[in-house]
């Protein structure tokens, strides 16, 4: 970290960007494989650059790790943002939410992201700032994008959400959180159970937040018919 004290600004240009990406890729692989105690010399060697070049781009190992986490989370959030655009013309809100949940679960269960998330958890006592960085670049951004997806559906009259913050947490809790819990013990849910959890979770979410038709009107697309004797 002392070597970074003289760094005034990050290098720029095509060569510098190639070096930065090589450092990030090497660091991501090595953090996942060896944990946070990965040596910066080893990262530099794997990236094919000098240790000084690493410190020219990143002030410290914590800074490098934060950027690795951010890049991994940005990739997942970009996929969700792309899905948001595709859902603009979707009239079946249930199918749209199921697709959204599947995208989120795939991102959350990516082995590299699971390893990085578990690494953050294991290092919280030594480096609490890593947890804060992860929350901002990971769950914080994901919650924002999901809120935009749900907000779009509200604007189209498909959902009726009074408290978006609560609704986002509910959706995560019903579809994604089970995977986060089992991943902390090195396990994973099977595809069939995942499909059932998502379908049931979406139906539960819709039972609370889907826009009800006016009395005497027809049900909106995607609204599950009420069961006989149901409430």
- Considering the chain, tell me which residue range(s) the CATH 1.10.10.60 domain(s) occupy: 12-58
Question: Quick one: what percent of the chain has pLDDT higher than 90?
Answer: 45
Q: Which residue ranges does the chain devote to CATH 1.10.357.10? A: 60-209
Fold of 12-58: Arc Repressor Mutant, subunit A (1.10.10)
Q: What integer is the mean pLDDT of 144-168? A: 94
pLDDT at 8: 53
pLDDT (0 to 100) of residue 169: 96
pLDDT (tens digit, 9 = 90+) per residue, 148-157? Answer: 999 999 999 9
DSSP string over the chain:
-GGGGG--S---SHHHHHHHHHHHHHHHHHHHHH-TT--HHHHHHHHTS-HHHHHHH-SSHHHHHHHHHHHHHHHHHHHHHHHHHHGGG---HHHHHHHHHHHHHHHHT-HHHHHHHHHHHHTTTT-HHHHHHHHHHTHHHHHHHHHHHHHHHHHTTSB--S-HHHHHHHHHHHHTHHHHHHHTTT----HHHHHHHHHHHHHHHHHHHBPPPPTTSPPPTTPPPPPTT--
Question: In this predicted model, what pLDDT tens digit does every residue of 174-213 receive, in sequence order?
Answer: 999 999 899 888 889 999 999 999 999 999 999 999 977 6
- pLDDT, residue 224, reads 43
Is CATH 3.40.1530.20 the right assignment for the domain spanning 60-209? no
Residue 33 has pLDDT above 70, yes or no: yes
Token pair of 223 as six digits:
């609204």
pLDDT surpassing 90 at residue 81:
no
């Amino acid at each position: 970290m002392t070597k970074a004290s003289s760094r005034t600004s990050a290098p720029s240009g095509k060569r510098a960007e190639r070096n930065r990406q090589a450092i990030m890729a090497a660091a991501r692989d090595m953090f996942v494989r060896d944990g946070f105690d990965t040596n910066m010399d080893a990262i530099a060697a794997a990236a094919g650059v000098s240790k000084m070049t690493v410190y020219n781009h990143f002030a410290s190992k914590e800074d490098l790790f934060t950027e690795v986490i951010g890049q991994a989370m940005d990739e997942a959030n970009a996929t969700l943002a792309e899905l948001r655009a595709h859902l603009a013309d979707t009239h079946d809100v249930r199918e749209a939410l199921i697709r959204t949940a599947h995208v989120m679960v795939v991102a959350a269960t990516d082995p590299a992201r699971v390893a990085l998330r578990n690494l953050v958890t294991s290092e919280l006592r030594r480096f609490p700032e890593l947890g804060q960085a992860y929350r901002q670049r990971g769950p914080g951004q994901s919650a924002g994008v999901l809120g935009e997806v749900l907000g779009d559906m509200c604007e189209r009259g498909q959902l009726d959400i009074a408290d978006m913050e609560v609704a986002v947490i509910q959706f995560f809790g019903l579809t994604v959180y089970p995977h986060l819990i089992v991943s902390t013990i090195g396990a994973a849910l099977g595809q069939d159970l995942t499909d059932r959890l998502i379908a049931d979770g979406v139906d539960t979410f819709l039972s609370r937040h889907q826009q009800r038709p006016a009395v005497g009107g027809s049900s909106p697309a995607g609204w599950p018919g009420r069961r006989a004797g149901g409430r």
